[in-house]
Structure 1
């Protein structure tokens, strides 16, 4: 049986804007209130998906959330027609309105944690949507995320869907951005790495002091239990609190893994040697590569600004690996020099492909933020909703759909425009028909 790792990218939503909502995300805060280009953002994301498909990888598409979230605004006391709700919120609580307009679901690395069937107790692929409790604008996502995932992976014989964890910061869960998997082959049992920022119930453990640690140990442990993972296949690693305080809000901003490779910055983890030893023991026989990038070659600041580690590390059909990197890595002399040297070393990483995702980068999300990885057997892949798998026809249709429905500029002041509600709903209603998702949005129900 053949196994592959599929990338499911989130389509950028029609309300993509720069509201600076994410404390601890340096890029998001730096570009707050700049004018965005939703059409360009969506086309950049689609172009990245097409590039990976052209490299021979399985590429899927996940729909965005409905925004603005009018139900939440009404729950918060704004009343009347849709236009009146917007007007009231804009006048009385503009920050709340911006949060309810956020298109942050585009970063599907935060959509869920996924464990493949080779690792789970019942031999099914398990999904747990992230609760994203640390940020109000993201905490609005889990219910619809669950519906979207169920519409894409609907066959209960192959896929198991869990509800998101309790909505409390003690179980703060940010999804696959703090989870990766190492394996000799996608179809063999692997080692699942859960990286957390703090412990909610053990105050003696170190924690960051400037920015919040969004993932708790307790959340990671709960997901491992829900997915039926054996303790011998799990490694729980604490992220270095000092790097969180310097803008490394998720582990995937400082480390990325795939297959038998873990690529990470020297300062990524609190106790690197202990983590490496446990990974090596649980990985078992077979070649395993730890690629540690020294601070002397790439500073933490350069790593964060370029998103060197928010690259996608993918296995090509040739068997070699490649990094899918933002163009910011190419344009930074230190990072570019390191990548040029890396591809000449005796490691599986032999290629780097640069992608322009600047609209996403300005809001704090690189190539890896935009995708959710799902390892699948050929039988499981055949059970995926085929309308959500990218081919040339779907790429063309989605490109036309974006050009038809998306604005080419969006400012914070535009969020009070009632026409944006109508435009967004028309776009999403058509999209659910293109992707054959059914009625997943509140306005359709």
Structure 2
């Protein structure tokens, strides 16, 4: 039976605040702070527990080997001799944001009736550009069955940042839907990370029906305000599009095309007069997980920052009190991830599939999360100061922590990928 599964990235033991991502205002604003990898990872586990409590299937993706010595070798250097900016780029734990792992098209949408996944190339940012080989290795393990097709990345120079710029709407998860690819063109001082050419290539690879595939431009205003990915200003689930009024370059044209492709769509738009782009981005209102509950109805899994932003929380309470499609608000604390520019939706990749066809080592329940939490509590660093990434004692501690987790999960083949 096809169902939607959220695969969350486990926050890695090298989680630090190096501010490597121009356009991600939270990440650059918090550059230089001391990070708390153990607390960060346990916050992520608590979010997964909240999803399980809502009755939602839950999966995981694993931290990458850090620092990436192979990447440094390709640059003819070693970690100890590398300049600080290359050390930071090699040590980054940004693969924890699983929304950037891949773009996923479920079997009901594809011509061959298989679920297709294309790993993102992330070429726009150096610290992310070397993630894809290890992500691809995990995807090929987790989705090795014949009901899946896992693709290598779109080649450079076409930037592809995965599901963070992709939305799917459908009457039900197991029925054919409409897939929306959101690309950027410019954003004032910040780069647009998703290229239209990359989105089009992914759609062709996944053998999508052109009549049910839309390519939509993100607004320059949203990118300039810090919406470096579409999922910072819009999210979709089921028949609901939940978006900020200023999310798209041609708002009315997109709405018309979406209604033509799926007449039953419900467009829930937050007016800029009620919630500014700045408040929406600071609170990560739209970087929430919009999910279908087992008993019916939709819920938003929101960061606690949304509740602490008066304009955002006032709008949400009014919506839930009315007749809108979002009926439940689930607030989670992911402050360590938020401080690095990633909210609840950044931490997860949505896959519609039969759980029985997935490698069970990548699926979790409460007991499995207990075991993961114990490894994190025992091995993850408590804190990494900004200048601590050059500490020679840090690297073996990070490697041992990751090895302990892979041992616990029976995924030792990923140790050397």
TM-score normalized with structure 1 length: 0.92
Deviates more, 1:217-226 or 1:421-430: 421-430
Deviates more, 1:350-359 or 1:419-428: 419-428
SS at match of 2:140: helix
Q: Deviations over 1:274-298 (max 9, x none)?
A: 11111111114xx321001001110
Q: How does 1:148-227 map to 2 (within 5 A)?
A: 148-155=138-145, 157-168=146-157, 171-198=158-185, 207-227=186-206
SS at match of 1:5: strand
Q: Deviations over 1:137-180 (max 9, x none)?
A: 0001011100011111111x111010001022xx1001000001
Q: How does 1:241-320 map to 2 (within 5 A)?
A: 241-284=220-263, 287-320=264-297
Q: How does 1:55-74 map to 2 (within 5 A)?
A: 55-74=54-73
Distance, in Å, in 1 between the alignment partners of 2:300 and 2:378 is 32
Give the equivalent residue in structure 2 for 1:147: 137
Aligned-pair CA distance for 1:223: 0.1
Give the equivalent residue in structure 2 for 1:110: 100
Residue from 110, 124, 130 that aligns with 2:120? 130
Distance, in Å, in 2 between the alignment partners of 1:175 and 1:86 is 29
Distance, in Å, in 2 between the alignment partners of 1:436 and 1:347 is 44
> Is the 8 Å Cα contact of residues 148 and 437 (structure 1) preserved in structure 2?
no
Distance, in Å, in 2 between the alignment partners of 1:211 and 1:413 is 26
RMSD: 1.2
Q: Deviations over 1:186-227 (max 9, x none)?
A: 1111000000002xxxxxxxx333111000111100000000
Structure 1: 5+ residue stretches without partners: 79-84, 199-206
Distance, in Å, in 2 between the alignment partners of 1:151 and 1:249 is 30
Q: Deviations over 1:276-332 (max 9, x none)?
A: 111111114xx3210010011101110010000001100001111000000001011
**In the comparison of the two structures, how many residue pairs are matched?**
417
Aligned-pair CA distance for 1:412: 2.5
Give the equivalent residue in structure 2 for 1:363: 340
Give the equivalent residue in structure 1 for 2:219: 240
Give the equivalent residue in structure 2 for 1:202: none
Give the equivalent residue in structure 2 for 1:81: none
Distance, in Å, in 2 between the alignment partners of 1:122 and 1:395 is 35
Give the equivalent residue in structure 2 for 1:203: none
> Is the 8 Å Cα contact of residues 14 and 406 (structure 1) preserved in structure 2?
yes
Residue from 74, 86, 94 that aligns with 2:79? 86
Distance, in Å, in 2 between the alignment partners of 1:421 and 1:150 is 27
> Is the 8 Å Cα contact of residues 50 and 390 (structure 1) preserved in structure 2?
no
Give the equivalent residue in structure 1 for 2:396: 422
Q: How does 1:324-335 map to 2 (within 5 A)?
A: 324-335=301-312
Aligned-pair CA distance for 1:424: 2.1
Residue from 102, 111, 121 that aligns with 2:111? 121
Aligned-pair CA distance for 1:393: 1.3
SS at match of 2:402: helix
SS at match of 2:108: coil
Aligned-pair CA distance for 1:438: 4.3
